[in-house]
Structure 1
Amino acid sequence: MQSTNGWASLVMAVVVVGLVVRQQLRTRRVRRHGSLIIPAVLGILGALGIAFGIASVVKYHPLTTLPVVLLVASLAVAAGFGMARARTVRVWQGPQGEVLRKGTAATTGLWLASIGAHIGLSLWIDHTAGAGVGTASLYAYLAIGLGPQNLLVRGRAGALRPQPDAANQPNPGSYIRQR
């Protein structure tokens, strides 16, 4: 039963990571407010996964400091990769004035390096903790990597959006009231 659960978790993780990376490589509009929904959902799943992972460890022995430090380091690495990936995403203004985004080959390379870093760190965490805390942190890792990436891409997109020209806007106080 334990082996089946492990394989199911691995398949689910591969599917989620594949969908996230695939989405990054598609041309799509940069939304002003919607790009943080997926990181938020992944963050909730990540927090639950970490909580259950820690609960499974402390059921059998105390959690030491090293796995906690490694977990925090892993999440910091995720944020760093997210900021680096944001610089590789192509952002441009489309034909109707919308702002578009699309990941590049460098984005894909950074995703692969990021996932490799997570696998290495999660194995180290699990080795020191004696259970699946590192493995359970995948969703949190994705959330913390995607959050800064999306915020930085949205910031770059904001610079491309046409800003209202204050000089050409009518002054609301200058309208003559008609009776």
Structure 2
Amino acid sequence: MRHNKKFNHLGRTASHRDAMLANMAVSLIMHKRITTTLAKAKALKKYVEPLITRSKNDTTTSRRVVFRYLQNKEAIKELFGEVAVKVANRPGGYTRVIKLGARQGDAAEIAFIELVDFDENMAKTPKAAAKKTRRAGRKAKAETVAEAPKAEETAAEAE
């Protein structure tokens, strides 16, 4: 029985899976976005988010614990430096998985996983402009229609 065995084994031995997830986590930290299969992206999300949470507390112990998983000094510097500063006030959800469709060769579901705070395209979109309601649209149109005759009256008074 598989009681309380929830994680995806990804068709690999435990050592192969650990090495693969560590390599993918290093790539994600260094490049901020990687493309992989959907199953691997979901497994990587569960693997890397606790490490990012650990990096918010920059102590020797935290660095040693994260180094035990990643085994890459450059990735540790990047994680505890640039990444930790950007996610300092975020309570969780440091990564985003976006599906890209099926791969041509074997029809595997492809997705990219990225660090949320490093996506410059999402950061540029204004959130206030994206949200519009019908009432606000009607009210704005009614105000512009009401202002138009006033503008004509003031122009007539000026002459």
For normalisation by structure 2, the TM-score amounts to 0.27
- Structure with greater helix share of residues: 1
The higher radius of gyration belongs to 2
With a CA cutoff of 8 Å and minimum separation of 6, indicate the structure with the bigger relative contact order: 1
